[in-house]
Amino acid sequence: MSQIIKLDQHITNLIAAGEVIERVSSVVKELVENSVDAGASKITISLIDSGITEITVSDNGIGMTPQEAKLSIERHATSKIKTEDDLYKIATLGFRGEALASIVAVSNFRMKTSTDGERGFMFTVRGGEFISEATIAHPKGTEITVRNLFFNTPARLQTLSSPNVELSYTLDYVSKMALGNPHIAFRVINNGKTILQTSGSGYPLETIHEIYGLTVSKAMIPIINNDGFFEISGFVSNLNISRASKNDLNIIVNGRAIRNQKVMNAIINAYKNLLPIGRYPICLLNIKVDYSLVDVNIHPAKLEIRFTEEERLYKLITETITSALDGSRLIVNLDNSQEDNEYDDWFYEESSNEENMGEIVETDEKEEIINIEELLTKVVDENNNDSFLQEEVTIQKFSFVEEDEVVTINETQKLPRMDYIGQLFGTYILAQGDDYFYLIDQHAAMERIMYEKIINEFKKDYKLTYELLIPVNLEFSISEASLINEKLKEIADLGVKIEYFGGGSFILREVPTWVIRGAEKEYVEEMIVNIINNKKLEKYEFLDSLAKKLACKKSIKANEYISSLEVSYLLNDLAKCKQPYTCPHGRPVIVSYSKYEIEKWFKRVM
């Protein structure tokens, strides 16, 4: 057995680097967090070859004295904590004192820093060994350059991805930090070209616009809530915008970009049945909480944290987003014209040079700052002034259709005014109203109606049922009959009364009132088959799944022509739904085109 020895500092730094510094973005993360902690209002990240060759992070923070600068690269040297108690109320992004020591151990490292903007200090280190130091002129703040990352750890160097992939990780991290710190101006440059820039205006919605563009920023819904423990705020996307991954669920806790699967699930749960499976919203969720109620000291890279009262937080997130979505019109718009000019005026003064669009216009050497509060107020006022559907149906004459074929749906809280025009391909209901043309998927619409009726009945402690005048015979296999006899109570709890008749036969005597007359046998057979075949699902998940299957199978199909009276009932029932915008599987029920966009098609407007 080998003799036990104490490892020297260089080896321990290399070991720490393996935990903390995984790729280029890890270096950027640690340096940017130090800049934020230093009170910087401007942070620039300059890369050569996506950072594989060189990374430079400069800021205008408080800077360091020569003594502090040299000490900062020692392991466990930090200004963020001083006592054991500080570890349980960490208010800074960095605190472990490992990052710079780890970076220094695996790179060629240079630091320039100044506390007064005149006299500065510079030193260089290679693989953990001091090379030189000097007094220099330097603006207030700090600049750190990291060259040839992992030059002395070839195995780690070989695990780096392609330049484009490494750059994507860096851009993702900086984007999240910019969203969480909208008061800081971030800039990312790669090989001399600026590829990401935020203004540092302090307005989160403007930062969303700068990172994601105008289409996304227009689609965001504000959220805010406070339960005494947690304060949450931010923006979530409506149904016009979704992504194929969860990467755009941006979670910021006390200014720190973090990963937390349970928080992500709380966000996703609010969109249940609103987006198709495999699609996710864009979200900026800021969580503010007392520092003593979170533990950030559980991961070397400080990416994961634990919450006290976590279930309370998850409930607050889901309920807040659900409420915001419920209060918003979520009809999918298929054109980009809606309020384009208005939004352009809100966000920036439109430049005649298309390449400059989106940049802040300088006037009299002062930046014009966008009033996002006015923007949000305007959005809310417009939504409040919109006409909404009521639960009544009237008949109105149209010049190009028969009188009894026209249906007008007046205002309710959820849907806009829609005047029935006709039917397309036996599948889509055509309607118009308030300068919009609407297409309604009749199957998806009825599926939503049926789903909400069924799931609401399933949730009731009591079941409204009716007894069949003529009992219906149900036939199953002998093996299925054995399972059914074990599940008779669960079946009865859903409002279905059956009696065993021997062999594989059962007599159906009573069904819930929501079951369509004449379709009792189909509904009940479907329910029973699902009950005996879904052993692993929780009760709510099972009932939700069953409601979706029943609603889908028993709804109007495509290529099925329906009368104007049937359309009237369908749209009237749809207007009463809690979420009339999507079917239970997340497909859109209604899509719209603006009159302005249609007139552009025909060159009436240019």
Check residue 298 and give its pLDDT: 45
Rounded CA separation 580/518 (Å): 26
Check residue 583 and give its pLDDT: 92
Take residue 381 and report the two structure tokens written for it.
């006022």
CATH numbers and ranges of domains, the chain: 9-197 (3.30.565.10), 213-330 (3.30.230.10), 340-378 (no CATH), 389-446+558-601 (3.30.1540.20), 465-512+517-553 (3.30.1370.100)
Q: Tell me the pLDDT band of 80, cut-offs 50, 70 and 90.
A: very low
Check residue 397 and give its pLDDT: 28
- Higher-pLDDT residue of 385 and 223 is 223
Residue identified by tokens 């902690």 is 37
What tens digit of pLDDT does each residue of 125-150 get?
A: 998 888 999 999 999 999 999 999 98
pLDDT of residue 223 exceeding 50, the answer is yes
pLDDT of residue 338 exceeding 60, the answer is no
Above pLDDT 90, what percent of the chain?
44
Mean pLDDT of 49-62: 96
Mean pLDDT of 431-441: 92
Look at 371-375, 452-456, 493-497 and tell me which has the smallest mean pLDDT. 371-375
Dihedral class, residue 46 (left if φ above 0, else alpha if ψ from -120 to 50, else beta): beta
Rounded CA separation 417/431 (Å): 9
What tens digit of pLDDT does each residue of 310-331 get?
A: 899 999 999 999 999 988 888 8
Write the single-letter amino acid at 225: N
pLDDT of residue 577 exceeding 80, the answer is yes
Put the strands of the sheet holding 42-48 in their side by side order. Answer: 129-137, 119-126, 108-114, 141-147, 54-59, 42-48, 185-190, 193-197
**In the beta sheet, which residues pair with residue 249?**
283
**In the beta sheet, which residues pair with residue 188?**
45, 196
Take residue 553 and report the two structure tokens written for it.
């199978």
Check residue 99 and give its pLDDT: 78
Mean pLDDT of 378-390: 36
Rounded CA separation 193/472 (Å): 74
- Higher-pLDDT residue of 463 and 484 is 484
What tens digit of pLDDT does each residue of 104-130 get?
A: 888 999 999 999 999 999 999 998 888
Contact 171, 25 (CB under 8 A): no
Take residue 111 and report the two structure tokens written for it.
């630091």
pLDDT of residue 366 exceeding 50, the answer is no
**In the beta sheet, which residues pair with residue 332?**
591
Take residue 84 and report the two structure tokens written for it.
């054991």
Helix (H, G, I), strand (E, B) or coil at 428: strand
Rounded CA separation 287/249 (Å): 13
Check residue 12 and give its pLDDT: 52
- Higher-pLDDT residue of 511 and 518 is 511
Q: Tell me the pLDDT band of 536, cut-offs 50, 70 and 90.
A: low
Output the average pLDDT for the chain: 80
Rounded CA separation 42/32 (Å): 10
Check residue 193 and give its pLDDT: 96
Check residue 307 and give its pLDDT: 78
Report the candidate in 504, 328, 335 with the shortest Cα–Cα distance to residue 413: 328
Check residue 413 and give its pLDDT: 59
